[in-house]
Amino acid sequence: MQVAAIQMVSGTRLDDNLQAAHRLLEKAAREGAELAVLPEYFCIMGHRDTDKLPLAETPAGGPIQDFLSASARSLGLWIVGGTLPMQTAAPGKVRNTTLVFDPSGVQVARYDKIHLFCFDNGREQYDESRVIEAGAPAVHFDLPARDGRRWRVGLSVCYDLRFPELYRAHARAGADLLLVPSAFTYTTGRAHWELLLRARAVENLAYVLAPAQGGIHENGRHTWGHSMLVDPWGTVIASLDQGPGVVTATVDAARIDSVRAQLPALQHRVL
pLDDT tens by residue, 45-82: 999 999 999 999 999 999 999 999 999 999 999 999 99
CA 110/CA 119 separation, integer angstroms: 26
Establish whether 133 is a catalytic residue: no
Give yes or no for a contact between 153 and 186, defined as CB atoms under 8 angstroms apart: no
Catalytic residue (choose from 34, 52, 57, 113): 113
pLDDT of residue 152: 98
Q: List 43's β-bridge partners, or say none.
A: none
User: DSSP string covering 79-132, please?
Assistant: EE---EEEE-SSTT-EEEEEEEE-TTS-EEEEEE--S--EEESSS-EEEGGGTB
User: What pLDDT sits at residue 271?
Assistant: 86
- Distances in Å between the Cα of 23 and the Cα atoms of 28, 32, 81, 173, 211 are 9, 15, 14, 34, 15
For residues 28 and 6, the answer to whether their CB atoms sit within 8 Å is yes
Which pLDDT value is given to residue 111?
98
**R_g of the chain, CA atoms, integer Å:** 17
Average pLDDT over residues 154-171: 98
Share of residues in the chain with pLDDT > 70 (%) = 100
**Average pLDDT taken over every residue of the chain:** 97
3 state SS of 74: helix
Cβ(196)–Cβ(228) below 8 Å: no
Mean pLDDT, rounded, for 95-124: 97
Beta-bridge partner residues of 100: 80, 109
Torsion angle (degrees, nearest 10) of CA 44, 238, 194, 269: 110
Residue 150, CA distances (Å) to 88, 170, 177 in order:
33, 15, 11
Length, in residues, of the chain: 271
State the burial class of residue 169 (Cβ atoms within 10 Å of its Cβ: 0-12, 13-18, 19+): middle
Q: CA 218: distance to chain centroid?
A: 22
Spot the catalytic one: 34, 40, 133, 194: 40
Q: Which helix (H) or strand (E) holds 28?
A: helix 14-30
Taking the domain 2-268, which CATH number applies? 3.60.110.10
Mean pLDDT of 99-125: 97
118 is catalytic: no
40 in catalytic set: yes
Rounded CA separation 75/32 (Å): 11
Query: How large is the average pLDDT for residues 182-199?
Result: 98
**Average pLDDT for residues 137-165, to the nearest whole number?**
97
Where are the domains positioned within the chain? 2-268
**DSSP character at residue 161:** G
187 in helix, strand or coil?
Answer: helix
Would the pTM count as exceeding 0.75?
A: yes
Write the pLDDT tens digit of every residue in 213-259: 999 999 999 999 999 999 999 999 999 999 999 999 999 999 999 99
Q: Which helix (H) or strand (E) holds 207?
A: strand 207-210
Alpha-carbon torsion 141, 244, 230, 33, what sign? positive
